Amino acid sequence: MAASSNHSAGTSGERLIDRTDALLLDLDGTVYHGARPIPEAVSALNKAHSHVGLKYITNNASRSPSAVAEALQEMGIPASEDEVLTSAQAGVTLLTSKIPAGSRVIVLGSDSLKELVNEAGFSVVTSADDQPAAVIQGHATTTGWPQMSEAALAINNGAVYVATNMDTTLPTERGLTVGNGSMIAAVTTATGVTPDSAGKPAGDMFTQAAEELHSDRPLAVGDRLNTDIAGGVAAGIPSLMVITGISGHTDLLAADPAERPTYIATDMMALFDPIDRSTPGPKQGWKAELTSDGVLQLSSVEGEVPEDSSEESLGGADSSQQARFSDRRSHDALLTAIAAAWEDGAPAVTQVTATDSTAQSVIDTWR
């Protein structure tokens, strides 16, 4: 199975931003890394704010919508409390569908989650002896053995178990730390009960966000295949994966159909590029073939370069423009490889190889 093309990677003038009326945005790994904003995301969101509606959708249940909006504003990103939807909010919505108003609930999570549970008409308790009707678990650094043990006792006594999200890791500026899903695993091991989860990869948050924005053409944007992209797929919403966070190039090549994005970009500024530059498919200058045993072979096609990136047109370009062209060439190679890997009936990719030094230099940059 092969993918190759003699056509330019940017034949259409239509931009990705022109195809949507709302961006449903992940945060960690997409907009920022811990306390550090991603520069291209900041630029893109400031530019997009006047074009489309924005909704920041996060599985992080430890902060209130107002706190999230304030943090984004401090990074120079346009955001209001109404533009934030957290998995804590979605978790409480799920909780209200499972138990009567006024019920007692054990909350494993932040103070903001406890406030949301109270505001929904429930009574927050801390002990299984209080006979709670439910346990809801969200991320909090203060959760430890005493809290999880009370939750386990309540669940073993029949309490409904709800989670805000199932993320096993939490990205920070120092790297990946223990996420809510890893804490949930301990309670599940003690009870044999897996919670119902409101967060990504379920599609509920995306559907809710699109409805709140009155959007007919939403676009999910995220960095993580098994949450952000899978959630968009589950909701039936097109998605853009930016390679700025958790999932990388090799993850994309091996992605399950339920986790495959519609568009792929090196960063969020691709929203303002021609749509072909982020659409998987054969691109000029590259050829990819997938063998029957899952070996993907990438080749460069000598003499082929994008029409607007010839040596002559780049003669007066500065170093940043030259670097952008280099990034585009590498990204075109990825989009070509993905087209071969994702063909109907294609075997799973087991290995990626290059047939020439140019292709190898690109593969060496993939993660």
Reply yes or no on whether 26 is catalytic: yes
> What is this structure's pTM?
0.86
Task: Kindly list the structural domains of the chain, giving each domain's residue range(s) and its CATH number in brackets, ordered by start.
Answer: 2-9+280-363 (no CATH), 16-87+201-272 (3.40.50.1000), 98-197 (3.40.50.1000)
Instruction: Outline where the chain has alpha helix (H).
Output: 39-48, 65-74, 87-96, 111-119, 145-156, 180-191, 204-212, 230-235, 249-253, 319-341, 357-363
The set of residues, in sequence order, having a beta carbon less than 8 Å from that of 317 and lying 6+ positions away, is: 325
Q: Which of 276, 349, 306, 312 is nearest to 19 (CA)?
A: 276
pLDDT, tens only, 90-140: 999 999 999 999 999 999 999 999 999 999 999 999 999 999 999 999 999
With cut-offs at 50, 70 and 90, classify the pLDDT of residue 307: low
Q: Do residues 218 and 20 make contact, with C-beta atoms less than 8 angstroms apart?
A: yes
Task: State how far the Cα of 349 lies from the Cα of 89, in Å rounded to an integer.
Answer: 38
The set of residues, in sequence order, having a beta carbon less than 8 Å from that of 71 and lying 6+ positions away, is: 63
Q: Is pLDDT above 70 for 322?
A: no
Residue 129: DSSP 8-state: G
What is the pLDDT averaged over residues 335-363?
A: 96
Query: Given this model, what pLDDT does residue 320 score?
Result: 56
Out of 172-181, 219-228, 319-328, least confident range: 319-328
pLDDT, tens only, 128-174: 999 999 999 999 999 999 999 999 999 999 999 999 999 898 877 78
HSE, CB side, 13 Å, CA atoms: give it for residue 324.
14
Task: State how far the Cα of 343 lies from the Cα of 339, in Å rounded to an integer.
Answer: 6
What tokens were used for 362?
A: 């690109």
Catalytic-role residue among 18, 21, 26, 308: 26
Catalytic-role residue among 28, 167, 223, 332: 28
Query: Given this model, what pLDDT does residue 81 score?
Result: 97
Say if residue 60 is exposed, middle or buried (CB neighbours under 10 Å; 0-12, 13-18, 19+): buried
